[in-house]
Amino acid sequence: MNYLDNLNAQQYQAVTTVSGPILVLAGPGSGKTRVLTQRIAFLMKEKDIPAYAILAVTFTNKAAREMQDRIEDLLGESVQGSMWLGTFHAVCARILRRESALLPFNNNFVIMDADDQVTLIKRIIKELNLDEKMYRANSIHNQISNAKNNLQFPADVSRSNYREETLFRIYEKYQSSLEKSNAVDFDDLLLWTWKLLKDNPEVRERYARRFQHVLVDEFQDTNTVQYQLLKSLSSYHKNLFVVGDEDQSIYRWRGADYRNILLFEKDFPDHVKILLEQNYRSTQNVLNAARCVIDHNTNRTPKNLFSDRGAGDKILYYEAEDDRMEARYVVETIDRMTENGNAQGGDFAVLYRTNAQSRLLEDAFLYRGMPYRLVGAQRFYGRREVKDMIAYLRVAYNPLDEISLTRVINTPTRGIGDKSIQNLRLAALESDKPLGEVLLDLGRFGPESVFWPEMGRGALPLADFGANVLEWNTMAAANESITALLDKIILLTKYQQYLKADDDDEQDRWANVEELRKMAYEYEERGLAEFLQNLALVSDQDTITENNNAPTLMTLHAVKGLEFNRVFIIGMDDGLLPHNRSLDDPEEMAEERRLFYVGITRARNHVTLVRAEQRMAYGVPDITIPSRFLTYIPDALIMQGNAPSILPGKSTRSSRTSPSGSRWESTPSWANRALSQLGKQTTSRGSESAMPSQRVASCKFAAQDNVTHPLWGEGTILESRIEDGEEIVQVQFKTAGMKKLIVSLSKLQKTA
DNA sequence: GCGTTACATATTTTT
DNA sequence: TATGTAACGC
């Protein structure tokens, strides 16, 4: 394929308009990645722009990698190492390492992830003797993060009342703690880069001259500092090419502001604006449903997405009696579809609003013995044991990293309790030395150390641990292999025994440690520094592996940018989607709609919306209300009956059936239920009869019978027949249109 | 200092 | 539910 092939008129314009600011509003599935990659190839091949003069920013590492692959494919040459292509955070980390001479940390800084940040904030709240209930670490973390995203260092935040003053004190302490540990957090990567470019015109000039072209993916998800960075980095050549879709902005809570699109139009009045409206992914029905959802949002450029893929299937809606059945419905449907060869596992995505919803799905998949892959949730890097190991490596690399040191100083327990740590802190403070240095001194000199006497009972354990750290640090400094270092750490800390003694997940936990060791092995040549530096910037989305032919389970957030043949969106309940926390804020509600919109538009061919009438909430069953979003989708787009994939299988499958006597087997003929539930519509509540009927042998209704239904009102029977012992009728309702119903479940009454 | 237990507590999304 | 914290006893 060539770099100008397969482009429609708008795409072509986007690829070949070389200079000046360009705004591309790209609907879902409209080929924006194609535009970005082919544009880069075009710039290089046709306009002789060298790779090093191009900066391309993406939202995830995965997107960056994909883009790189496609560019290299087009060019037939590698751009690795020459072109700047990566996430905002990765690009900023790169700049900061190069320019560290101008910054309050050196170029081996470590990057703290969100967990580390919260832990640190908790510690600070304690140290400041603040009420932990009044000042919740998570909330403070958010506030600090917001401040940073809005270009505020501690000195810049408002301090007009006591609370703000307190926040300031925490923020200040937090920031100096990071500095002491030669660490930065996620937000710092952006903030410091922004400050660097602002305070040092010659540095800004250098980068701005270098980057003749700056390209940005997912522009709608940029926040203030990111937008300022983009302006700064493109300030010389002004060739800023941004691609985005305000309808897919789903990171508001993280400071992302789709209004940056409006800002862009204002800041660059001479920009070229291009709309990509042809969708190459979905069928028209999917697009229409999506549009019905997003049209409820205001303040947006209306887009008319169209597809030449035909109308396709309607949206399928299913209402399960509870969340367990909801999961089971999804799994059984997938099972049936894959079993009869209509689909394969990899065709499916199951999407949900909150990670907690994945659990029941996992249960159901496991129970059926079906494979699945889960994105996110308990992220690998978030696992306690993995974090422990990383912290150990960080301590080995830099014993002065106080944050990591305090994490592992007594994990596994080694007799260094709060009191000992306090003593250590005190000694550090008095001698004006970092914590790690005092510890190393104890390790090096033992009882001869000047600090020994003040350490009281903890002296020996501290000295022992100090000696360990010294040993690891020596290994790290001598550039010994990371795996050797890890092995030494595991040996000296008896970490495996520690996990064994712990609990029943020992197997899993140890497997995770081994997994980390494997990853470390791949960094054998690049070394510990690079390994540690890269760890923090890896995200859940990056762990999505290809070629694994199993259904994918993930949040609506995680699915952005992906596509699947068939998409389930579960938890279509008010309070889940839209989420409770969004109900009272119109902006938040708009974001929930976008989230739903993103979910729908992932589907190439088919969307199934699922909800549960009853759902466990903190262990208590709760009656739910159907999502208000369901009402956005007109009946004409929703499929009522006729779900061939979930028709009751006449033959019970011999393989992979549940063990008899199980709780599931005790529920009679679930599959029949699945079909019959299709007759029940959106607004029905738990009051409806849940039990399947006894088998019937004769029809209660006949064609031409006039009937009435509690929800759909009056209608006329078109057809009635018996299927699998259930009477199925087709009814033409006066206002609600044609529906297929299961008589035994549908509260259908004959009228005179 | 450590481990157990009882109790409280809060539950979105993540580079 | 599941996670963290406070309190207690060793």
| A379: nt with nearest C1' to CA | B14
CA A88 to C1' B14, whole Å: 14
| A619: nt with nearest C1' to CA | C1
Phi and psi angles of residue A185, each rounded to the nearest 5 degrees, phi first: -100, 180
Burial class (CB in 10 A: 0-12, 13-18, 19+), A418: exposed
Pick the catalytic residue: A16, A17, A33, A152? A33
Q: How many residues does chain A have?
A: 752
Pick the catalytic residue: A281, A324, A602, A611? A602
Strand B reaches within 7 A of the A60 CB: yes
> Which protein residues have their Cβ less than 7 angstroms from some atom of strand C?
A 122, 132, 359, 616, 618-619
CA A113 to C1' B8, whole Å: 27
Q: Which amino acid is at A360?
A: L
| Beta carbons of A276 and A27 less than 8 angstroms apart | yes
Please give the pLDDT value at position A482: 94
Q: CA A35, CA A13: separation in Å to the nearest integer? A: 9
CA A704 to C1' B8, whole Å: 62
Question: In 3D, which of A580, A632, A592 has the Cα closest to residue A247?
Answer: A592
Q: CA A709, CA A730: separation in Å to the nearest integer? A: 13
Examine the residue annotation and report whether A217 is marked as an active-site residue of this protein.
yes
Q: Which nucleotides on chain B have any atom < 7 A from a protein Cβ?
A: 1-3, 9-15
CA A222 to C1' C5, whole Å: 38
Burial class (CB in 10 A: 0-12, 13-18, 19+), A474: exposed
Strand B reaches within 7 A of the A87 CB: yes
Please give the pLDDT value at position A452: 93
Strand B reaches within 7 A of the A131 CB: no
Strand B reaches within 7 A of the A59 CB: yes
Examine the residue annotation and report whether A540 is marked as an active-site residue of this protein.
no
Strand partners, A639: A316
Question: In 3D, which of A5, A12, A152 has the Cα closest to residue A70?
Answer: A5
CA A413 to C1' B2, whole Å: 9
CA A569 to C1' C3, whole Å: 28
The segments of chain A whose pLDDT lies below 50 read 641-695, 724
Strand locations in A44-106, DSSP E?
54-58, 84-87
Strand B reaches within 7 A of the A376 CB: yes
Q: A362 is written with which tokens?
A: 């996992």
| A189: nt with nearest C1' to CA | B15
Q: A384 is written with which tokens?
A: 């306690």
Could you give the dihedral angle defined by the CA atoms of residues A335, A338, A342 and A347, in that order, rounded to the nearest 10 degrees?
A: 100
DSSP state, A575?
Answer: B
| A617: nt with nearest C1' to CA | C1
Q: CA A399, CA A384: separation in Å to the nearest integer? A: 20
Residue A1 half-sphere exposure, CB side, CA atoms within 13 Å? 15
| A126: nt with nearest C1' to CA | C5
Pick the catalytic residue: A218, A347, A540, A726? A218
Examine the residue annotation and report whether A32 is marked as an active-site residue of this protein.
yes
Q: Which amino acid is at A99?
A: E
Phi and psi angles of residue A351, each rounded to the nearest 5 degrees, phi first: -110, 145
Instruction: Please name the residue ranges forming H helices in A276-357.
Output: 284-294, 323-339
Strand B reaches within 7 A of the A584 CB: no
Strand B reaches within 7 A of the A416 CB: yes
Q: CA A119, CA A123: separation in Å to the nearest integer? A: 6
| A139: nt with nearest C1' to CA | B10
Q: Which nucleotides on chain C have any atom < 7 A from a protein Cβ?
A: 1-2, 5-6
Pick the catalytic residue: A32, A34, A353, A680? A32
| A616: nt with nearest C1' to CA | C1
| A133: nt with nearest C1' to CA | B9
Residues 6+ apart with CB under 8 A from A136: none
pTM of the full predicted structure? 0.79
Residues 6+ apart with CB under 8 A from A54: A40, A43, A44, A83, A84, A85, A211, A212, A213, A215
Q: Which amino acid is at A432?
A: D
Please give the pLDDT value at position A741: 66
Q: Which contiguous run of DSSP H or E holds residue A611?
A: strand A603-612
pLDDT tens-digit map of A206-215: 999 999 999 9
Strand B reaches within 7 A of the A555 CB: yes
Examine the residue annotation and report whether A218 is marked as an active-site residue of this protein.
yes
DSSP state, A619?
Answer: T
Q: CA A457, CA A83: separation in Å to the nearest integer? A: 56
Burial class (CB in 10 A: 0-12, 13-18, 19+), A5: exposed
CA A414 to C1' C9, whole Å: 20
Strand B reaches within 7 A of the A739 CB: no
Strand B reaches within 7 A of the A594 CB: no
Please give the pLDDT value at position A377: 57
H helices then E strands: how many in chain A? 25, 22
Please give the pLDDT value at position A745: 57
Strand B reaches within 7 A of the A374 CB: no
Burial class (CB in 10 A: 0-12, 13-18, 19+), A255: buried
| Beta carbons of A338 and A345 less than 8 angstroms apart | yes
Strand B reaches within 7 A of the A332 CB: no
Examine the residue annotation and report whether A685 is marked as an active-site residue of this protein.
no
Examine the residue annotation and report whether A221 is marked as an active-site residue of this protein.
no
Instruction: Please name the residue ranges forming H helices in A200-259.
Output: 201-210, 224-233
Q: CA A533, CA A25: separation in Å to the nearest integer? A: 34
| A417: nt with nearest C1' to CA | B1
Residue A556 half-sphere exposure, CB side, CA atoms within 13 Å? 28
CA A147 to C1' B7, whole Å: 35
CA A450 to C1' C2, whole Å: 45
Strand B reaches within 7 A of the A420 CB: yes
Helix A459-477 to helix A384-397 angle, to the nearest 10 degrees? 70
Please give the pLDDT value at position A673: 29
Q: What Rg do the C-alpha atoms of chain A give, in angstroms? A: 30
CA A436 to C1' B2, whole Å: 24
Q: A487 is written with which tokens?
A: 């092995």
CA A443 to C1' B6, whole Å: 39
Please give the pLDDT value at position A668: 24
Pick the catalytic residue: A217, A247, A319, A591? A217
Q: Which long-range contacts (CB under 8 A, 24 or more apart) does A103-108 make?
A: A103/A192, A103/A196, A104/A179, A105/A179, A105/A182, A105/A183, A105/A184, A106/A182, A108/A182, A108/A397, A108/A398, A108/A529, A108/A533
